[in-house]
Amino acid sequence: MAFFDFIETLMRGGAGSPLTDASNTESVRKIAILLQQLPPDRSRFLAAFAYLMARVAHADFHVSDEELRRMADILRDRGGLPADQAEAVAEMARHQTVHEGSTEDFLVTRAFRRIASRDELLQLLDCLFAVAAAHHSISVVEDNAIRQIASELNLEHREFIAVRSRYRDRLAVFQLDSPPLQ
């Protein structure tokens, strides 16, 4: 736990404080409403997971149809949601990221870090790259957003690089035919 997170936790009353609860963020609460049939911990986990995927999809200020579909596919395949519910959660996550992103990004990431295991953090990282690669190229902006999230999750640089290397052929910075940066 980072020093300031530790101090914050102490000032707010310890581990059970509202700051350590993933449902504390407005975005997670709104997304989790679509997952009411699940246990509360699972709905908050999937809501934060979906939000973070949408955060990467929106890094370039546009969430493409391909990215939205990839998010829904991941929520269905890895999250165990029915297809229609996965689509609704992905759409709500997109909406929340577009409208609440700058104020919620770090809060949701910090909350997810506190409720996820190390393995789940690494699975999320893989899913973030999968969403960014949905349109066959991971832009520098998307790559940087994923790097920022990995840092906020307290993942080690070598862990980030290990996952990123699986998507090397999709990184725009390595593609010869990618459009020039503006």
Q: Which domain holds residue 83?
A: 23-174
* pLDDT tens column, 34-64: 999 999 999 999 999 999 999 999 999 999 9
Q: How many domains does the chain have?
A: 1
Residue 9 belongs to some domain of the structure: no
List Cβ<8 Å contacts ≥24 apart for 46-49: 46/75, 46/79, 46/81, 46/89, 47/22, 47/89, 47/93, 48/22, 48/108, 48/111, 48/112, 48/115, 49/75, 49/79, 49/112, 49/124, 49/127
φ and ψ at 158, to 5 degrees? -65, -30
Contact 46, 90 (CB under 8 A): no
Looking up residue 46, the CATH number of its domain turns out to be 1.10.3680
Residue 1 belongs to some domain of the structure: no
| Beta strand spans in the chain (E) | none
Residue 6 belongs to some domain of the structure: no
Residue 57 belongs to some domain of the structure: yes
Residue 82 belongs to some domain of the structure: yes
User: What is this structure's pTM?
Assistant: 0.83
Report in angstroms the alpha-carbon separations of 50 from 17, 19, 35, 43, 60.
Answer: 24, 20, 12, 10, 17
Amino acid at 34: L
Residue 110 belongs to some domain of the structure: yes
pLDDT at residue 14 greater than cutoff 50? no
φ and ψ at 118, to 5 degrees? -60, -45
Residue 10 belongs to some domain of the structure: no
pLDDT at residue 6 greater than cutoff 80? no
Q: Which of 90, 61, 96 is nearest to 74 (CA)?
A: 90
* pLDDT tens column, 68-84: 999 999 999 999 999 99
Residue 120 belongs to some domain of the structure: yes
